[in-house]
Structure 1
């Protein structure tokens, strides 16, 4: 069992703190690293892969520091978000080159290409590949030495639905085999389909850790803000504020609407149409005003 461990790990670039005092353990199975864009996910992954030194704290693989430890590269495969590819090579040549860096032969490259289902295009130049095909060739190069740890930075970017399903199935199988798989994403649905365990990063800080369903429930149960327009905002506000599912209502003069804070999401969504019907009020607009990932994660940090 191969385990990555971060202990009070930080990384800063000049005066910019990209990762701030993060501690987490990533073990066998599939783990999702979730957070909004710019949260520090790529910096964390680069430290786990041994490409960045921690400015503070430690990053270890089975208890051994990864930074400047060449042996660790035998166990780690990295699929970076950035391209970093040689467009003048064919897909096969690119994967063979990576195999040779590990002292392996063409057979290892052929197996890796077959694993990601890229044999059909292996003799085409990478310059002709779509974004999804480039992602899969990067995946093949990371798998060529059959690593026990696989780190993927936004691996589903640019993939069509079929390619996404193929990659999800592959990562799921690898997790079931006992490999340690960590992938980053800023999209909740991607993580929900693949990872039961997640780590949440917001603004470089560790915001939450654990079972996806438990953390997803926290996201659902947080106070929600809705923008509501109706044929009689005054009467609607009076009826809603009388119910315990509503914590507060403001009048947004600019939007000519009500801003409603609901503390019981399920009860409020059932209450609103009932109150409107009972009062003869026509609902013109009902829309969430804080449904961005940033707002969700900010709530988790404060919780």
Structure 2
């Protein structure tokens, strides 16, 4: 298992601060790097890949600095967001080039295997200039995988892919994660992060805004009430009983269908609901958080 760590990392270009005092640690499994365009996600990934040196702070892989150490580079595969690849090469030639740069003894077999992983064997001898955007993403992925890295860094890897290609890529990443590899990918598509990533790191305006799974991140927002949708055998009586509790801020009744509720104290609310239902002989049919989607969390963090 490989662990990437950034300690108080900043990166600036002249007077422009791209990343400001970021500390995070990512290990085995899939980590989603979430943030709006221009937040600093690509800069963070470039520092993790060793392509950029921090202006301040340290970046390490298993304790080794991520700059100018070829032994570290051999453990990392990078899929950059940039479209710029050698268009005049075929897919096979591009992937083989990376295999040769890594001095892989069985470079030919490794090239074939990487192309097979991304389902490009049939197009392996076509020039990349003829490829669609989704196919370019796949050939970049094959190039990143050819040396069998323990760490995969992917910058917006699903751009330009159709639904079938997206599913295949997600399955590939999930398979690699089960092998104990460390995978970090950035995306502006919240559903992709939510469905794939066990860990989420949120970057907003170059700063590390939050860390954890989406539920843990939501729990950190102590200044924002938790919102729930509840269905029960008696919504009106339940609403009246819950409003008597100190942790409930407000309730909106939607007839016999359901009620919407805001609670300040998640722990207190979690304890009061079963007690109130039991005391008033009310059956809880549904209790669903309505603000724990990544879209809700992301919108809150960006607007703070």
Alpha-carbon RMSD: 2.9
Contact 1:196–1:213 (Cα < 8 Å) also in 2: no
Q: Does 1:188 align with 2:190?
A: yes
**Pairwise CA distance, 1:188:** 1.3
Alignment of 1:126-141 (within 5 A): 126-141=128-143
**Pairwise CA distance, 1:296:** 2.6
> Structure 1 residues 81 and 13, CA, compared in 2 at 3 Å: closer, same or farther?
same
Task: Measure, in 2, the Cα distance between the counterparts of 1:37 and 1:298.
Answer: 11
Alignment of 1:196-211 (within 5 A): 196-211=198-213
Task: Measure, in 2, the Cα distance between the counterparts of 1:194 and 1:163.
Answer: 15
CA displacement, residues 228-272 of structure 1 (integer Å, 9 cap, x when unaligned): xxxxxxxxxxxxxxxx9xxxxxxxxxxxxxxxxxx86xx55848x
**Pairwise CA distance, 1:223:** 6.7
Task: Measure, in 2, the Cα distance between the counterparts of 1:269 and 1:141.
Answer: 56
Task: Measure, in 1, the Cα distance between the counterparts of 2:302 and 2:158.
Answer: 24
State the partner residue of 1:21: 21
State the partner residue of 2:149: 147
SS in 2 for 1:214: helix
Q: Which runs of 5+ in 2 are unaligned?
A: 227-242, 244-248, 259-294
Task: Measure, in 2, the Cα distance between the counterparts of 1:49 and 1:4.
Answer: 10
Task: Measure, in 2, the Cα distance between the counterparts of 1:14 and 1:292.
Answer: 35
Contact 1:23–1:206 (Cα < 8 Å) also in 2: yes
CA displacement, residues 53-103 of structure 1 (integer Å, 9 cap, x when unaligned): 100000000001111112111100000000220111111111011111111
Task: Measure, in 1, the Cα distance between the counterparts of 2:99 and 2:75.
Answer: 14
Contact 2:218–2:297 (Cα < 8 Å) also in 1: no
Structure 1's consecutive aligned runs of 4 or more residues displaced over 6 angstroms after TM superposition are 291-294
State the partner residue of 1:7: 7
What TM-score, normalized by structure 1, do the two folds share? 0.75
Task: Measure, in 2, the Cα distance between the counterparts of 1:190 and 1:52.
Answer: 27
Contact 1:35–1:297 (Cα < 8 Å) also in 2: no
SS in 2 for 1:52: coil
2:302 counterpart (279, 298, 301): 298
Contact 1:35–1:202 (Cα < 8 Å) also in 2: yes
Contact 1:195–1:212 (Cα < 8 Å) also in 2: no
State the partner residue of 1:227: none
Task: Measure, in 2, the Cα distance between the counterparts of 1:214 and 1:162.
Answer: 31
> Structure 1 residues 203 and 90, CA, compared in 2 at 3 Å: closer, same or farther?
same
What TM-score, normalized by structure 2, do the two folds share? 0.75
> Structure 1 residues 214 and 268, CA, compared in 2 at 3 Å: closer, same or farther?
farther
Residues matched between the structures, number: 250
